[in-house]
Structure formats: C-alpha cells, structure tokens
Amino acid sequence: MSGDHSAIPVIDVSPLVARSGTDAVASEIAEACRNHGFFYVVGHGVDQGLIDQLDGLSHDFFAQQLEAKLAIRMALGGRAWRGYFPIGAELTSGQPDGKEGLYFGAELPEDHPKVKTRTPLYGRNLFPDISGFREVVLDYMASLTELGHILMEGMALSLGLESAYFRDRYTDDPLILFRIFHYPPLQDSESVWSVGEHTDYGLLTILHQDNTGGLQVKTGSSWIDAPPILGSFVCNIGDMLDRMTRGLYRSTPHRVRNEGNSGRISFPFFFDPNFDAEVHAIDSDLIVADDKNSRWDSASVHEFNGTYGEYLLNKVLKVFPELGQSEL
C-alpha cells in the first residue's frame, strides 16, 4: 500500500490463508498498522454464503417486537455476559449508544473450569427461537476464529517475529467475543451517536458491515469514513496490541453514526488474548509512545498491571455496570 493517510488500505490476505508468499502481505499490514490502525482484508476465505445467512437471520431477529427480543435479555445470561440488550442499554464514555444488539462468546459446557468458578464472560450463549440461528452463529464464530489465527500470524510477521508468536504466548485459547449490532437511523439530534468514540480492548477486531455505512476512523485530529467494500472485513487493532508494541501499532479511535434511512447491521468479532494472560511488551527496550493525554478515555494502555481478563472487566463494568453484581 502507498503512504496515503486519507484512505484505509485494502489488503489481499489470500497468501496468508494459503501460507505462501507472505512477505508482501506482512509489509502491507505493518504499514497499515503504523499509519492507520485499520485495514480492510479481502481474499480471506470466509464463505460469503455463511455471511449472507447470518445477515438474513439477524434482520429476522431485530424485526421482532421488543417483548420477543427480551426473551433472551442479557440479565438471563448472568456472568457469561450473553444475550440481547435494547437501544440505549450500552454506554460509551458514559453516554447511551443508539444501537441494540446480541452478545455471544465461545459456547462452553457447565463443567468447563471457568464456568464452574463463575468467571465473568464464560458460559453458554442465549439464542433466539429462530430456526438455524444457533448453528449459523456457531459456524460463523468458528470461521472467524480461524481467520483470527491467520491474521495474527500476519501481524507477527509484520513485526519481524515468528508467525506463531501470538499463538504460542496469548491466543492458543483466545478469548472470543462476538456481537451482532443493529443501528436504527438516528433522529435529527447531533448529540447522539450510534456508537460513541472508543478503542477496542484486545488484539484484533474483525468486522463485517452491511452496505449502510456510518463507520468513522480517527486519523490524527480528523475523522475519515470507512465505507463498506463488497467481500471485505474491516480489521482494527486493540489496546493490547498497542501495549505489546509500545505504541508502534496504535489502537485507533472509531465511532458510528447511521445517518441513512434504514437500519445498519454489523458483526464485530473480537479475537483477544486468553483471559488469564499477562500482556507484556514484545521489545522491552523500546520507548513507550503513550498517547493517554489525547485518548478518548485519558487512560494509558501501558500502565496497568495484571491479566487481560482484569483489564477487560475494568472496561466492561463501565459499559454494563450490572455485570459486577455478585448475585448474577
């Protein structure tokens, strides 16, 4: 890709998928992460038919009456943090978002160690009573998990590391979180955002968005659009990759404003370190490029001590404070 900072790069990752001739792709990923923190991927190998199925089922779910959607409300998911939330129930920077959504994660049995110890974010999913919904969601998460491993191999190569660097240290058993969001058209108020300015918490986000548009990415002091590109995913790096690279790869603020005439559907998939992993800098000799004074939350991704799970829960409890209630 060229050094153009005004447009988000599009990277053909088919060599990574085929595990052949990856040097050029790694260079493109490196440049995209240094300049933008965002990039599109094509040639990813995920079945378009599966994506289309999920899109259709998602429209079916959100077209239901609120009472039907609340049958799988997040309160019923307890500490697993799964299920449906209505418009305004999720906060960004303390402000309600103009979206509704479904939360999913790795499907785990009751005898899984983390489920038995009631570790937050682990457990069974809540699925709507719509034929095929469960099967398609689980198939999609499996496909995106495999793509996450492939893209993190490319990320490792982009940093001059062995391709298995992240898998060996952080993602052999990744924390997988998956969302299906619906953004109704916003009203005239300019003070409301579909999703306010934020960065993602983990390693890598892989996003499918429909044709509505509305995603915006911050580059320097300005915002640029990340419009839909047919057959692509939008990828962005999260706070943990920022921490690992000491700011060389920066987690980039982004936001959504649906100004169209129809609802927007998106599928953000979060490929993150293991819950119990302690995240360290790749090269401790690098000087930290800390941007906490200009970040949306004025927080440093480099100063905390502990596991990724602790970092994530600290952020999550600001979005869904009820998750911290002991009776869940």
User: Are 296 and 198 contacting, i.e. CB atoms less than 8 angstroms apart?
Assistant: yes
Q: Which residue has the higher pLDDT, 270 or 190?
A: 270
Q: Which residue has the higher pLDDT, 313 or 328?
A: 313
Q: Which of the four pLDDT bands, split at 50, 70 and 90, describes residue 324?
A: low
Q: How many DSSP H helices and E strands does the chain contain? A: 9, 14
- Can you tell me the mean pLDDT for 57-73? 97
Is 5 part of any domain?
Answer: no
Is 140 part of any domain?
Answer: yes
Closest CA to 236 of 261, 221, 216: 216
At what angle are helices 133-158 and 48-62 packed, to 10 degrees? 130
Domain of residue 236 covers 10-324
Is 295 part of any domain?
Answer: yes
Give the pLDDT score at 304: 87
Q: Which of the four pLDDT bands, split at 50, 70 and 90, describes residue 295?
A: confident
Give the pLDDT score at 90: 83
Is 2 part of any domain?
Answer: no
What are residue 175's DSSP bridge partners? 272
Is 301 part of any domain?
Answer: yes
What are residue 103's DSSP bridge partners? 83, 179
Is 18 part of any domain?
Answer: yes
Least confident of 186-190, 211-215, 251-255: 186-190
Is 49 part of any domain?
Answer: yes
| DSSP 3-state of 296 | coil
What are residue 39's DSSP bridge partners? 235
The encoded tokens of residue 176 equal 């997988």
Q: Which of the four pLDDT bands, split at 50, 70 and 90, describes residue 4?
A: very low
pLDDT exceeds 70 at position 327? no
The encoded tokens of residue 211 equal 């044709």
pLDDT exceeds 50 at position 2? no
Give the pLDDT score at 186: 84
Number of domains in the chain: 1
pLDDT mean across residues, the chain: 91
Tens of pLDDT along 12-21?
999 999 999 8
Q: Which residue has the higher pLDDT, 169 or 326?
A: 169
We report the CATH number of the domain holding residue 201 as 2.60.120.330
| DSSP 3-state of 1 | coil
| 152 residue type, one letter | M
pLDDT exceeds 70 at position 323? no
Tens of pLDDT along 114-145?
999 989 899 999 999 999 999 999 999 999 99
- Nearest 10 degrees: Cα torsion 208, 322, 203, 52: -20
Tens of pLDDT along 224-254?
999 999 999 999 999 999 999 999 999 999 9
Is 4 part of any domain?
Answer: no
Q: What is the DSSP string of 168-222?
A: IIIISS-EEEEEEEEEPPP-S-TT--SEEEE--SSSEEEEEE-TT--EEEEETTE
User: Are 15 and 21 contacting, i.e. CB atoms less than 8 angstroms apart?
Assistant: yes
Closest CA to 241 of 272, 218, 269, 275: 272
Q: 112-121 burial, b for 16+ CB within 10 Å, e for fewer? A: eebbeeebbb
Task: Express as a percent the part of the chain with pLDDT over 90.
Answer: 73
